Amino acid sequence: MSVRTRFAPSPTGFLHVGGARTALFNWLYARKHGGAFILRIEDTDAARNTDEAYSVIYQGLHWLGLQWDEGPEAGGNFGPYFQSQRNAIYEKHLATLEAKGVVYEDAGTIRFRSPRKTVVVEDLVCGKISFDMSNPVTHPDMTIRRPDGSWIFHFVNVVDDIEMQLTHVIRGEDHLSNTPKHVELYDALGAKPPQFAHIPLILNHEGKKLSKRDGGSSITHFIDGGYAPEAVANYISLLGWSPKDNREFLSLEEIRELFTLENINRRSAIFDLDKCFWLNGQYLLHMSLERFAELTLPFIDKAGIAYGSKEALLPALAIVKPKVKHLSDVPDWIGYLFTEDYAFDPAAAEKALRKTGALDRLAQLKAAFATVAEWTHPALETKLKETAEQQGVKTGEFIHPARVAVSGRAVGPGLYEMLEVLGKDRVLARFDRANAEFSA
Ligand code: GLU
């Protein structure tokens, strides 16, 4: 039977890192085995369901590159893929249980009568676990339907896993204690349980289960915060899993090759936002300029930077790429390259341009640069050094005023790269502008 896995989130308005990891592991397992990865929305709690809550899930999965084969948007033969639209299916399975006499009514709720046996779960990560279900005090008969007709998670989750013919249920360890109840339902419905794999919890730095309140625990944080999806997918894959050789930089393709459920750790994983941040910086540094451009364009467009053409944009991106840590920083790092109306940071101007003699140096540098025929980084560097030497001052006396004059700020890409990208005419004009602005 070919592998079928699923990600079954509730639309809470939030795609948590833990949920994203569950989705990733299910996707990896399905892809690795040539199976199908299904997205099923567990939206039985009508009160919480908003369009926004659904789209946060789709957007997060698309962004991470986890395309599903069946589910919302994709369709498939086992739909509908929203629990809120599967009522007739649940009614049918409830009727099966009723016919078997294993459910009863209790103050308007419908409960499932536990067979009160020991349930053995062979979990692919946690191993063989026995759950003694004999005591009704510790294991009361589970409710499967509320008095208002709505369904309880355990029942619809199991019915759907049966109906959708799932072969593997890979989910967070917080569901391990639910598993014996689920197995009881599979048995009662006459179905063979899927293979279970419960993946370790993700903890915060205090050793508590990572929650919504923990900074950076939502995928939206990474999308809006300018992370590269490949960096985040890589980071998330390492939460509870690692390749045998302890490599840390892995593309989704490599992870897919190396991924096995056997390599999943039993120990809890610690969520380390600093590590994710570091990994992201490494990805930005090493990715191709094309990819960097593709990822930064939404931020650049949102900021309304009039960069003209892609040909004009790429050189600007090339010089900031080694410096930025977040894609969302890029507009600020390149904005002044595309307008003559850039602002001067008051502190930077005070230090570099209002300093005694600074404007004289700018004038000397302008005269020297005016003679440069081939406007390239090395030629400009040589010329600036030569000028400093002639004037008997340190190169910094020229570098700082030049940088602030052409960019309005003290920090940015390498000066010579920036001058080269701006071109001769604009650099000389910017020197004049700074001179006019600060000579008063
Ligand atoms: N909707 C459940 C959750 O989000 C799904 C649990 C499962 O994967 O079985 O926790």
Q: Does domain 288-338 have CATH number 3.30.70?
A: no
Nearest alpha carbon, ligand 1 atom 3: 9
How many angstroms separate the CA atoms of 72 and 70, rounded?
Answer: 7
pLDDT at 47: 67
pLDDT at 215: 82
Question: Of the candidates 363, 364, 360, 382, which has an alpha carbon nearest to the alpha carbon of residue 372?
Answer: 382
Interacting residues of 280 by C-beta distance below 8 A, sequence separation 6+: 227, 228, 231, 232, 235, 325, 326
Nearest alpha carbon, ligand 1 atom 10: 9
Interacting residues of 145 by C-beta distance below 8 A, sequence separation 6+: 94, 109, 110, 151, 152, 155
166, two tokens: 């799932």
Q: How many helices (H) and strands (E) does the chain have?
A: 18, 11
How many angstroms separate the CA atoms of 137 and 134, rounded?
Answer: 9
Q: Domain boundaries in the chain?
A: 86-199, 288-338, 346-438
> CB–CB of 240/199 below 8 Å?
yes
> CB–CB of 366/428 below 8 Å?
yes
Give the mutation target among 5, 12, 153 for probing the ligand 1 site: most ligand atoms within 8 A of CB. Answer: 153
Interacting residues of 440 by C-beta distance below 8 A, sequence separation 6+: none
Number of residues that this document lists for the chain:
440
pLDDT at 119: 98
100, 208, 212, 302: which one is catalytic? Answer: 212
Q: Which amino acid is present at 354?
A: R
Report the atom number in ligand 1 closest to the C-alpha of 182.
Answer: 9
> How would you write the pLDDT of the chain (440 residues) with one tens digit per residue?
799 999 999 998 899 999 999 999 999 999 999 999 999 999 998 766 788 889 999 999 999 999 999 999 999 999 999 999 999 999 999 999 999 999 999 999 999 999 999 999 999 999 999 999 999 999 999 999 999 999 999 999 999 999 999 999 999 999 999 999 999 999 999 999 999 999 999 999 999 999 888 888 999 999 999 999 999 999 999 999 998 888 899 999 999 999 999 999 999 999 999 999 999 999 999 999 999 999 999 999 999 999 999 999 999 999 999 999 999 999 999 999 999 999 999 999 999 999 999 999 999 999 999 999 999 999 999 999 999 999 999 999 999 999 999 999 999 999 999 999 999 999 999 999 999 999 87
How many angstroms separate the CA atoms of 91 and 28, rounded?
Answer: 33
How many angstroms separate the CA atoms of 359 and 135, rounded?
Answer: 87
How many angstroms separate the CA atoms of 110 and 208, rounded?
Answer: 35
pLDDT at 56: 96
Instruction: Encode 393-403: b = buried (16+ Cβ within 10 Å), e = exposed.
Output: eeeebbbbbbb
Report the atom number in ligand 1 closest to the C-alpha of 170.
Answer: 8
pLDDT at 280: 96
**431-435: long-range contacts (C-beta < 8 A, 24 or more apart)?**
431/362, 431/363, 431/365, 431/366, 431/369, 431/402, 431/405, 431/406, 432/366, 433/340, 433/405, 434/344, 434/353, 434/359, 434/362, 434/401, 434/404, 434/405, 434/406, 435/359, 435/362, 435/363, 435/405
Gap from CA of 42 to ligand 1 centroid (Å)? 8
pTM here is 0.92
**Which residues line ligand 1 at a C-beta cut-off of 6 Å?**
8-10, 42, 157, 169, 171, 175
SS3 71: strand
CATH assignment of 346-438, among 1.10.10.350, 3.30.70.141, 3.30.70.60, 3.30.413.10: 1.10.10.350
Report the atom number in ligand 1 closest to the C-alpha of 9.
Answer: 4
Region 86-199: CATH code: 3.40.50.620
Report the atom number in ligand 1 closest to the C-alpha of 174.
Answer: 10
Helix-strand-coil percent breakdown of the chain, rounded to 5? 50, 15, 35
Gap from CA of 95 to ligand 1 centroid (Å)? 24
- Give one DSSP letter per residue of 9-58, joined into a string: ----S--BHHHHHHHHHHHHHHHHTT-EEEE-B----GGG--HHHHHHHH
Interacting residues of 350 by C-beta distance below 8 A, sequence separation 6+: none
Strands 36-39 and 4-7: parallel
Gap from CA of 221 to ligand 1 centroid (Å)? 22
Please give the backbone phi and psi of residue 20, each rounded to the nearest 5 degrees, phi first: -60, -40
Is residue 117 flagged as an active site residue?
no
- Give one DSSP letter per residue of 386-430, joined into a string: HHHHHHTS-THHHHHHHHHHHHSSS--S-HHHHHHHH-HHHHHHH
